[in-house]
Amino acid sequence: MNSPTIRDQTILVTGGAGFIGSHITDALVPHNDVRVLDDFSTGHRRNLPDEVRTIEGDIGDPIALQEAARGVDIIFHQAALVSVTQSVDDPRTSNRTNLDSTVLILEQARQEDARVVLASSAAIYGHPNELPVSERTPPDPTSPYGIQKLAIDQYARLYDELYDLPAVALRYFNVYGPRQQGPYSGVISTFLEQAQEGDPLTIDGDGEQTRDFVHVSDVVRANLLAATTDRTGEAYNIGTGESATILELAEIIREVTDSNSTIVHEPPRAGDVRHSQADISKASKQLGFEPRISLEAGIQSLGTAEPIESAVDDEVELPSIDSRG
């Protein structure tokens, strides 16, 4: 299924200058009136197209939110404090940023009669006993961040049921792609930087841990599908349904970048999830979501700066993906 076209809507993207949010913004701008609310603590203005109306402010500020959301039809809520470690060190700040602000978003959406798509996370599953994990897998978060994302899922369901507010939560697995940078960027962007600099690729632990890596263009498609579905009040896994070990990932990156970087092992991170893989059958059946970008093609596009469209079937309609800035 191609990406649904959203046209002639007034749309707010919170965290729209950040990694995922800026790609969602790019996909929406050609046919809609798009606003971005961002405090630029991690996002960058260079990620935003000129056509966007930007409101600089904190998502926890009701006044800034009210200004940004006035008259909107759809809200894509991507702003968050995404560091699991920081949520452990400072759970109050993490809760205020991730959970309290989400309630403000949902309340503002009620006033505007707007649809909401919320960014959730595979962190809600903790250390699953079986793979792949489906939405029926009992949640067992191991950090304040995971608890906050699980609560966001529940708020989406309750606001849909109690207030007839169309809301969908998307449980992202390991998202990667252009513009992913900063202290909390993913292992792929870290490995690429190390390989391109000729530095050793540092792996925490033995490297046999697995992850489900999903390209940001597929995540954008999932958001557009969630914004147009009738199956609201639900949470959906967004991944590829496949997994790769960190060692396999390192080898792919060395090959793509033609790097001679060695691989070194650091002590494992405390509490690190050993294995992760999404069951995406629910998103496939109810949203029509199908990932299009293989891990090899996605890394190739990043390692060589090729447009991602060159790595996929020309007939597939993709949101605009570039590495502006």
| CATH number of the domain that residue 65 is part of | 3.40.50.720
Amino acid at 137: T
Please report whether residue 121 resides in a domain: yes
3-class secondary-structure state, position 118 = strand
pLDDT above 50 (res 317): no
Please check whether residue 323 lies inside any domain of the structure: no
Which residue, 127, 129, 238, 124, is CA-closest to 175? 238
- Lowest-confidence pick of 157-166, 254-263, 272-281, 302-311: 302-311
At 151, the pLDDT band (50, 70, 90 cuts) reads very high
Comparison of pLDDT for 180 and 78, the residue scoring more:
78
SS percent in the chain: helix, strand, coil, step 5: 40, 20, 40
| Position 265 pLDDT exceeds 90 | yes
322 has a pLDDT exceeding 90: no
Please give the mean pLDDT across all residues of the chain. Answer: 90
Q: What is the pLDDT of residue 304?
A: 65
Pick the closest to residue 31 from 54, 4, 55, 56 (CA basis): 4
Mean of pLDDT values over 59-82? 96
- Provide φ and ψ at 79, rounded to 5°: -70, 135
Q: What pLDDT is attached to residue 319?
A: 40
Burial of 202 (0-12, 13-18, 19+ CB in 10 A): middle
pLDDT at 84 (0 to 100): 87
Burial 73-89 (b: 16+ CB within 10 A, else e): bbbbbbbbbbbbebbee
Q: How confident is the model at residue 305 (pLDDT cuts 50, 70, 90)?
A: low
Mean pLDDT of all residues in 274-288: 96
Residue 167 has a pLDDT of 98
pLDDT at 3: 61
3-state secondary structure of 104: helix
Residues in the chain: 325
Q: Is the pLDDT of residue 183 over 70?
A: no
The lowest-confidence range among 63-67, 91-95, 193-197, 318-322 is 318-322
- Span 278-290, mean pLDDT? 98
Q: According to the model, what pLDDT value does residue 314 have?
A: 33
> What average pLDDT does range 32-54 have in this prediction?
95
What's the rounded mean pLDDT across residues 111-129? 96
80 belongs to a structural domain: yes
pLDDT score, position 1:
46
Residue 202 in any domain: the answer is yes
Asked whether the predicted pLDDT for residue 254 surpasses 90, the reply is yes
User: Which whole number is the average pLDDT over 129-156?
Assistant: 96
Residue 146 lies in a domain: yes
pLDDT given for residue 272 in this prediction:
77
Q: Which pLDDT score is estimated for 64? A: 96
- pLDDT at residue 309 is higher than 90: no
Number of domains in the chain: 1
Q: Which of 145, 155, 159, 172 is catalytic?
A: 145
In this predicted structure, the answer to whether residue 307 has a pLDDT above a threshold of 60 is no
4-8, 38-42, 243-247: least confidently modelled range: 4-8
Supply the range of the domain harboring residue 251: 10-311
Instruction: Examine residue 1 and state whether it is found in any structural domain, yes or no.
Output: no
Question: Mean pLDDT lowest for which of 259-263, 267-271, 286-290?
Answer: 267-271
Does the annotation count 145 as an active-site position?
yes
Nearest CA-CA partner of 172 in 215, 228, 141, 136: 215
The share of the chain scoring above pLDDT 70, in percent, equals 91
Do the domain assignments include residue 318? no
Is the model's pLDDT at 239 over the cut of 90? yes
Question: Residue range 115-131: average pLDDT?
Answer: 95
